[in-house]
Every structure is written in C-alpha cells, then in structure tokens.
Amino acid sequence: MPSSSEYQTVGTLEHAIAQVKCGDKEAYTFIIHRFQKQIYLYCYYLLGSKEEAEDAVQDIFIKGFQRIHLFEPQVSFSAWIYKIAYNHCLDILNRRSRLRKILFLLKRDQINDQELPYEDLVYQLLDKLSAEERHILLLRAVEEYSFDEISEIMDLKPSTIRKKYERLRKKLLRYQANPFTEEGGLHKHVIKPS
C-alpha cells in the first residue's frame, strides 16, 4: 500500500480517490494535503474566524471521507469538496445567526465615537452580504473560479451565478461609496463633531 508521500510524487488525485473508495484510509491524507489550505482560506473568509475555520476544515474533511463513496467523477473533486465546505459553513452561519442578530441590534444602539480600522470596514461590508453572496464572491474573486465552475458547486445555472455576482458587486460598490450612510450601515461609527 503506497504511503501519502508516494501519492504526492507518483500518484494522482483520481488514483487517491479510487484507493480511498477501496478502503485505503492512508490515501485520504494526499487529498487532505492537496486541498487543506484552500478550504481553510475559504472557510476563514466565509466564517471570519480562525478557530471556526480550523474546526470547519476538520469537519469538512471528515464528511468528505465519510461521503467519498458518493463522489462521481463527472464533477470535479474540487467542486465536490467545496460544496461540502459551503453547506457546512452555511450550517455554522445559520446556527449563529440568531446570536449575530441580537448582537447587531445591541451594537446598533450603542454610540461608538471611534473610527473603524480598514479591516473592520471590510468585515462590515462582508456582513452586508448573505452567506450565498459571500460564497459566490469568495469563489469568484479569491479562488478565481469561472461562473461555470461555481454553478457546479452551487447547483445553479451559470447565468444565475453571473447575475447574482453582478448584483453583489453593485451592492458592495454602493456600500463602499457610502459607508457612513444609513444604506452603507456604518453611520453609527462616524466621529461626531463636538
């Protein structure tokens, strides 16, 4: 039975998948090594938390291993594992959405007399997007997937993905142009004149 380092030098992804389907658990380490970094970055940008992203990556690869018998080569393995990642992250976001809504309402009512750092502004903009919009944005802008590849992952038509991407781009541009208005949502963070 080949070791994971042998898969890296002479094996292919398809061969590793076939071996895992035949019961070779060791072959799955090749798959993990091949996709771990990009899945982590994807989860991190979608969830916004290093710890949650690390936990999510472990869960995603466990789910991938448990479901690998369902993988069909007509779809790219990358699209398949990203779909698992998307659904897993969506579950996490849904679980914490009630808490986030409560925190948002409390935060909105507080008066904050400090300017937000740039990174916070970026997260504020990302918070304006739905989980689906963040998913499309990350796959298109960060991972540089085509609309066809994104449509495979999300089970939507490429034209639908293209329209959703254009809408979210316009939405972000609108928020970016007017971050300190009611529409932009950051109006509470403007330093008020004395």
Residue 135 shares a structural domain with residue 93: no
Residue 127 shares a structural domain with residue 149: yes
Rounded mean pLDDT, 103-117: 49
Q: What is the CATH number of the domain that holds 144?
A: 1.10.10.10
DSSP 115: P
The answer on pLDDT for 91 being more than 70 is yes
Residue 7 shares a structural domain with residue 102: yes
Show which of 49, 84, 106 is a domain's final residue. Answer: 106
Q: What tens digit of pLDDT does each residue of 122-168 get?
A: 677 777 888 888 889 888 887 788 999 999 888 899 999 999 999 98
Confidence (pLDDT) at 126:
76
| Inter-CA distances, 106 with 18, 117, 132, Å | 51, 20, 25
Residue 132 shares a structural domain with residue 190: yes
The answer on pLDDT for 4 being more than 70 is no
Residue 85 shares a structural domain with residue 169: no
Residue 79 shares a structural domain with residue 123: no
Supply 193's token pair: 């004149």
Residue 77 shares a structural domain with residue 2: yes
Long-range CB contacts for residues 104-107, cutoff 8 Å, separation at least 24: none
Q: What is the CATH number of the domain that holds 88?
A: 1.10.1740.10
Domain that holds residue 133: 111-194
The answer on pLDDT for 5 being more than 50 is no
Show which of 76, 106, 136 is a domain's final residue. Answer: 106
Distance CA 50, CA 155 (A): 28
* Percent over 90 (pLDDT), the chain: 43
* Percent over 70 (pLDDT), the chain: 72
Residue 116 shares a structural domain with residue 171: yes
Residue 46 shares a structural domain with residue 135: no
Domains held by the chain: number: 2
Residue 154: half-sphere exposure toward Cβ, Cα within 13 Å: 27
The answer on pLDDT for 62 being more than 80 is yes
Distance CA 133, CA 169 (A): 9
Supply 54's token pair: 């690390």
Residue 67 shares a structural domain with residue 124: no
Q: Are 111 and 129 in contact (CB under 8 A)?
A: no
**Which of 118, 112, 124 is CA-nearest to residue 191?**
112
For the chain, the average pLDDT equals 79
Show which of 106, 126, 146 is a domain's final residue. Answer: 106
Rounded mean pLDDT, 97-103: 56
